[in-house]
Amino acid sequence: VMNVITIEDYKSTYWPKLDSAIDQLLTQSPGDYIPISYEQIYSCVYKCVCQQHSEQMYSDLIKKITNHLERVSKELQASPPDLYIERFNIALGQYMGALQSIVPLFIYMNKFYIETKLNRDLKDDLIKLFTEHVAEKHIYNLMPLLLEAQSTPFQITPSTMANIVKGLYTLRPEWVQMAPALFSKFIPNILPPAVESELQEYAAQDQKLQRELIQNGFTRGDQSRKRAGEELTYS
């Protein structure tokens, strides 16, 4: 028979263990080995679910990850333009990597609370948090820099560009409309098959987007780009 876990037990003993493990997973670098007992965490989640603490645990998890992502977003905001793309790529990769461990650890909560009571899925919820708290806030700064990098050879590595573009598409497919030509290089079948007569039109649209971005204050590497981006972000 399982011992009763009171809400006080949950708050003083169980959640702190989970909190510390989540912290480590969110901040590890790719390839790091983390001394976490997955079995212990898994068992901790299982016991809390069995003792009806799923709702509290879900709420704590969302709050914990939201706070982490808000910090990530602020750090990105402080990045100079020449490091911005690379840092966004690291933040995206690190978070998606962390989810590969966090989601399985909370499998019982997902199965017996999120799927059954909320009709949702934990992984989807956690990806949505990154979209809302990081990607949405940075897309207007990031996109002009990606377009600029695309037209400047060797500014960033092809793998970085591919990771970011595919990542943005996963987070929100409609962002394709901001730069269809760029997305089409990494995501198959985004553009309709090009007819030769339309190629000039595509090039003209691309130049028009570049002009519009510059008119909106996105001048190359200029601080006004950053300020305009922040106004766009928060307005």
229 belongs to a structural domain = no
Domain of residue 73 covers: 7-216
Mean pLDDT to the nearest integer, 48-74: 97
In a domain, residue 66? The reply is: yes
Does position 229 have pLDDT exceeding 60, yes or no? Answer: no
What is the dihedral angle through the alpha carbons of 151, 169, 91, 104, rounded to the nearest 10 degrees?
A: -150
Q: Give the pLDDT band of residue 218 (cuts 50, 70, 90).
A: low
Taking only the tens place, the pLDDT of each residue in 81-115 is: 889 999 999 999 999 999 999 999 999 999 999 99
pLDDT > 90: percent of the chain = 66
Question: So what's the pLDDT on residue 142?
Answer: 94
Amino acid at 215: Q
Would you say residue 225 lies in a domain?
no
**Does residue 222 register a pLDDT over 50?**
no
> Is 227 a domain residue?
no
Which of 142, 137, 110 lies closest to 126, judged by CA? 110
Q: What is the CATH number of the domain that holds 212?
A: 1.20.1310.10
Q: What are 147-206's pLDDT values in tens digits?
A: 999 888 778 898 999 999 999 999 999 999 999 989 999 998 877 765 666 667 767 777
209 belongs to a structural domain: yes
Nearest Cα residue to 84 out of 223, 179, 232: 223
> Are 129 and 68 contacting, i.e. CB atoms less than 8 angstroms apart?
no
pLDDT at res. 166: 95
Note whether residue 83 is domain-resident: yes
In this structure, is residue 228 part of a structural domain? Answer: no
Counted domains in the chain: 1
68 inside domain = yes
